[in-house]
Structure 1
Amino acid sequence: MTLERLTPGAEVNLNRGQTVVVMPVFGGYEFVAESLAAALRHTASDVPLCVINDGSDDDRIGTLVEDLGAAGQPRRLFYIEHESNLGFVESCNEAFERFAPADVVILNSDCVVAEQWLERMQAAAASDARIATVSALSNSGSIISIPERNEPTEGLPAGLSLEAAAERVADVSAQARPPLPAAIGHCMLIRRMALELVGGFDPVFSPGYGEEVDFSARCTAHGLAHVLADDVFVLHHGGASFDRRTDELTELHNDIVFGRYPWLDQSVSEMAGASEGPLDGALMRASLSQRRLRVTVDGSCLAAAWTGTQVHTLGVIAALASNSDVELRVLVSPNLSPETRALIAAQGPSELLSTEDVDHRTRKSDIVHRPFQSGSPSDFEYLSRLGRRIVVSQLDQIHFHNPSYSIEA
């Protein structure tokens, strides 16, 4: 591997159809060292890699790249060094221009990749001629975060390595390549035809944040699409480049993006909140490869007189609580007797949730199950606050044809 220092005007000579991995860097040496080592280890040797040192004041970064270049491995390793910090947007635009006509992967310097990551992203990109960008699943990736949907987390679940997490995601993936409203910038493949059609990132978003969303919206307006490589998982430490400026930049640049594209906010919100469809299914499969299934059982009937319904409900609770692959929450009436509460608790659920405490802030389980009949459409609206998917066991139809019947009687 020979280090190629790129000076202004230097020729690179890449071909259309090739892909180059670009890592803009500004500080964060420990993150850069980890990310770069993983990218070199898990990326095919015929794929060029470029580090853009965007005015970092840590000399260790330049030394690291120099040492890697002297290692003698069969790979083109490019190095661009800025005298001052130009920002993420300008660094990416420089890469887009220098490496034409190749496709470009922008890999954040705080992202760590695993085996087959690029091959799978390239396969997703090749699955449809209209695809402009491909994004990868991550622990901290906005609406494509797992195992907590829409909730970026630090690191990986306890006891799980990146290699194991990535392998599990790939194993359960249906390779559905679900559509996204926009690219997610921690790890994204951008096809050259999209850059040629709409141009690069808008400098108004310098130094960074929101540039990939604006780019994506321009692509969408031209009939192109964005997809998730639902068989690729990368570790994203998050925020290494911008630190405390993150919130301020995000708010400012979001105002610009949603001002330009009024339709985009609703599109993102709908996809983030959807409980069905290709993206929801892909995120559910990937999430469950890294954590237990979360189930809420509606046990509100257990405050009533004990009949077959109550016996059945308690049996469902006991069966699920004994399953080590399930994290169980039980919904209970505030009027629950101490004896019944103790009986339910003895089955071993993770949590008892009072019906009085359910509101729009209640965390949703993967599934909410009512093991007894529902008598009103409003029941389903209520259950939707508790789980992303609703399962109802309609044991009989008595509630519908006998107006005197009530499970609360």
Structure 2
Amino acid sequence: MDPSRSRRSQAAIRWTAGLGVAVMTLSGCSGAALSAGGSTVDPSLKIGLIVPLTGPVSAAGQALRNGFENGVRKVNQSGGANGHDVTYVVADDGGDPATSTQLARKLIQQDRVSILFGTITGDTAEAVGKVADDSHIPFATAILGDPDRCRPYAWTFGESTRQLLTPAVPSLMAEHGKRVAIVGSDYNFPHSYAKAAREQTEAAGGTVVAEEYSPLGQTDWQPVVTRLAAARPDVLLSMVVGSDAVSFTQQAQQFGLLTPALGFDGAPLDADYYPALGPLTQGRTHVVRWTDQLNHPDSSAFAADYQSRYRWTQPVPEVAGNAYFAVQFLAAAVNQAGKTEPEAVNRQIGTLRFDSALGTATHFDPGNHILQANMLEATIQPGGLYAVTRSLGLVPDATPKGCA
């Protein structure tokens, strides 16, 4: 399921004291020398990538890293940022918030990065976001989700739950019925997803008839499936993530909950899971920010390069696309700022209007730092084609507030 790791020139590998995680300093293309511990002024943009390359969400983490690295290559092939190649440091947090916190501090204090990027789960993003705020360093995420609150230095390139659910829930209810069940992994993001899903369900005249959560690493889903089935839902929204998404969906079908008559949407329909769940998701529609079937030259070139470079025969994960375009957005903000000083870059991220495959003049809402970009409805077809069947345009999300 995981894409093969890219072949990269490695400038240095060292172990972070007390953490037991590899931290690698790399350059995007040129192999330009980096300053050691920030002792020499480095005019290039240096990004700290914190990503779970191990643990229960490592597949999504590796896809994020791959898309990020493709984005760096694209930027450097186009002249870099302020005329210098973008460089980066990769750190594996294993999906653990305490490790994420320590790595964020190290990347800022020792590696002297100008921007932090990455993480997958909401609790690790919250941990890094706090360090970024304290240090006045921009922090960008590329995964689906909503911040618990707006942070001045945190920027969400991934689609928000409301950007997904606003078009999806009314459509599912109109086709399947108004009884909605919600299931999720038991950490902060699935709970915030459920809150938004309840709002959308009630606004469309429906009722949430069941709500279930299980800790990451769950293997026996029969009790959860049984309780969900007893509620007789018409629609099931799942934010079970990582390897758990596969086992839950398979057991939901095995024990009779997941049928063609049941409306179904959520994380298991993401392209990441198609290799394991393809037959259970084909024919269903899924709201996305990006798909490798998007008809745009840069998008198509990225997808082809991703599949060739990583020998990837499945649909390219959406988080990889988000990361690829996010790096280009950040480099454009650095060019607009004319320097890599974090405060100046942070200001420019908030004002930039950027054209890409994700839309014209994409930008961040000043109140919540969520990217405002086009959304798409894709239909999952045999062979893992997430074919665009409807353009939804820009789906605004003005929650939560707190930054403007």
Both proteins in one fold, TM over 0.5: no
Quick one: higher RCO (CA 8 Å, sep 6+), 1 or 2?
Answer: 2
**Bigger Rg, which one:** 1
TM-score for the superposition, normalised by structure 2 = 0.29
